[in-house]
Structure 1
Amino acid sequence: MSSPDTLIAGETLVDMFPTSSGPLADVETFERRAGGAPANLAVAMTRLGSAPYLWTKLGSDPFGDHLADVLDTEDVPDRFIEIDPDRKTAHTLVGDDPAADQAFVFYKEGTATMAMEPGTVADDALADLEWVHFGGVMLCEEPARTAMLDLAERAQAADCTVSFDPNTREDLWPDPTKLEPTMRDALELADVIKTDREDLAMLLDSVENSIETVAEELTGYGPHSVFLTQGSKGTYALATDDSPWGPAETDQPTLHVDAIDTTGAGDAFTAGAITALLEGKSLDEAIRFANAVGALTTTETGAMAPLPTREAVEGLLESA
């Protein structure tokens, strides 16, 4: 088997799903599920037949042991999976209450999850890669923030395609004033971003502008390609002249499935887009493929368990 050509960087953690709906404060029991956007993405790509490296850090604790077992079972390469002997693994409560202020409650302070160090992935490793992806959760505090931006800068210098999912949640940031400047720094280092109108609202003239205007505005911060997911309305994507698959634009509708839980749909979409573009598909083909991966992930509860195989994705596309 050839070595991976992609590196995904960021958190692997445990999602705790309530066994009943309503306010989290009233929930008595939870079900443990492996999660974390970068880990979801890595598993999704592996199931699609293009296993990437995953750079992540786990604690030496029961949650960390469980997550390491899951990643091993899913055949995610372990070259950059670190175990911190002194810290615990982060976890998240996933809410099921439409009236609640928070859908997710993170427990991350002082954890191994957020203790990723700059320089862990060496330059010679980056030289062998085609694509590097990082997520916004890791930017909320140090040393993970510096680790991610350092990785993106060195990956760009190594001529990797660098993609970024902002995934902004202000409540995660100990100092919210760092959110906007950090997003600007990240976008300058990204070739591709996957986001929506609201995620980067602090950088936009108005979230009410047309989807085409929003995408064009975001390219002004650095990326040559912008993928804007719109929920049930599908996905709009724009690639400029600087893109290997551009200039191009596409507006692909959502594929119909019986949706149950959308927790990991965005991560699955990103996995589909990266996989398809690395295979040389056009922007139009890649976004349609990514929409299918994302749609199938909503058919079961949880972010990782329902991630589809390539055969399932191709079956949905053929029947659409």
Structure 2
Amino acid sequence: MPPAVLVAGETLIDFLPERPGPLETVSGFERRPGGAPANVAVGLARLEEPVSLWTRVGDDPFGRYLTDVLAGYGLPETYVELDGDAQTSLAFVTHDENGDRTFSFYRDGTADTRMEPGRIDDDTLATTEWVHAGGVALSSGRSRDATLDLLERAAEQGCTVSFDPNARPELWRDEDTFERVSRQALEYTDVCKATVEELRALGCQGDSLEAVARNALEYGPHTVYLTRGSEGAMVVTNDDAREPDTLVEHDGYAVDVVDTTGAGDAFVAGLIAALRNGRPLAETLAFAGAVAATTTTETGAMTALPTRDAVESMLEANDAGD
């Protein structure tokens, strides 16, 4: 049976450092499953949403480990591909003293760059409610064409399409290519989630966060979520949205941050789950923010994603605090 939500993109190995500091000073790392789309898909599964993941990993020890992990979270194997001719991508993560992170990717010709257009057929898309993709898959290889093809056909089939630019400058040949390709993805997008830095890299301009987000609406989406880390998030819409011409803000949650890896992906999972279940924008922001905030209280990305009960507990505690 086709999934209600289809997420497309990379699954990889994150190597998390044993302590904060630059990569050259860290001697020990812990292996964790990662990749933004994979995190989103697992996040949705943890929130009890019906979801499938279209991804490609190497037929190597890391890839086989990842397929076992995805299966363990209940994701169907239908669109999880093993590539016998390419390796699985690796990402080494470093943290500063505030938990913020940077990435060093080993992703030259790896399996996730070799996704093929047409893998998801039109009949599947015709019965799929929501399709989500991220920007890393657009950065290189055949996966760029495969992702753009998927988003275009999903839009034609009436799916709700969401997109996270997930800017990683080290993966792109130049800023102009990132802007051009990501703007092409936005043409097929209904809901965009991004940071202000990512929107500015896409060419969006404005003297305020709201103005930058509203400028992004001109490129295709009817709804733009702008995340601000510990300061919360905002959402703006145009006349095509369910709540037209709206601005809603949320201040976020006070938590003890351990690791911000995957917080943006957790936010995406939360907003898709909330919107699919008909929550208004204000509740969507609160719910997605709670998913993201809970994720930052543990190390890792996928392994820190919360259950629906944990998110609802945070929301209840926050309401009681008010």
TM over 0.5: yes
Structure 1 CA distance for aligned equivalents of residues 20 and 310 of structure 2: 30
Partner of 1:267: 265
- How far the C-alpha of 1:161 sits from its partner, in A, is 0.6
Contact 1:226 1:237 in 2 (8 A): yes
Partner of 1:220: 218
The letter for the 2-side match of 1:189 is Y
Contact 2:20 2:97 in 1 (8 A): no
**Of 222, 237, 240, which aligns to 1:239?**
237
- How far the C-alpha of 1:21 sits from its partner, in A, is 2.7
Between stretches 117-126 and 166-175, larger displacement belongs to 166-175
Structure 1 CA distance for aligned equivalents of residues 209 and 96 of structure 2: 29
Contact 1:45 1:275 in 2 (8 A): yes
Partner of 1:139: 138
- What SS does structure 2 have at the residue aligned with 1:141? coil
- What SS does structure 2 have at the residue aligned with 1:198? helix
- How far the C-alpha of 1:111 sits from its partner, in A, is 0.7
The superposition leaves residues 184-212 of structure 1 with CA deviations (integer Å, 9 ceiling, x where unpaired) of 111111111000110121334546x2121
- TM-score, normalising length from structure 1? 0.95
- How far the C-alpha of 1:22 sits from its partner, in A, is 2.2
- How far the C-alpha of 1:20 sits from its partner, in A, is 2.7
Partner of 1:56: 55
Partner of 2:14: 15
The letter for the 1-side match of 2:47 is L
CA RMSD in angstroms, aligned pairs only:
1.6
- What SS does structure 1 have at the residue aligned with 2:81? strand
Contact 1:43 1:51 in 2 (8 A): no
- How far the C-alpha of 1:172 sits from its partner, in A, is 0.4
How many residues are matched? Answer: 316
Contact 1:42 1:51 in 2 (8 A): no
Partner of 2:103: 104
Partner of 1:84: 83
Partner of 1:118: 117
Q: 5 Å matches for 1:113-192?
A: 113-192=112-191
- How far the C-alpha of 1:3 sits from its partner, in A, is 5.1
Structure 2 CA distance for aligned equivalents of residues 176 and 197 of structure 1: 16
Identity in percent: 49
Structure 2 CA distance for aligned equivalents of residues 121 and 175 of structure 1: 30
What 5-or-longer segments of structure 2 have no aligned partner?
Answer: none
- How far the C-alpha of 1:245 sits from its partner, in A, is 4.0
- TM-score, normalising length from structure 2? 0.94
Contact 2:204 2:213 in 1 (8 A): no
- How far the C-alpha of 1:146 sits from its partner, in A, is 0.6
Between stretches 240-249 and 150-159, larger displacement belongs to 240-249
Runs of at least 4 residues off by over 4 Å: none
- How far the C-alpha of 1:33 sits from its partner, in A, is 0.2
What 5-or-longer segments of structure 1 have no aligned partner?
Answer: none
Contact 2:90 2:105 in 1 (8 A): yes
The letter for the 2-side match of 1:159 is G
- What SS does structure 2 have at the residue aligned with 1:261? coil
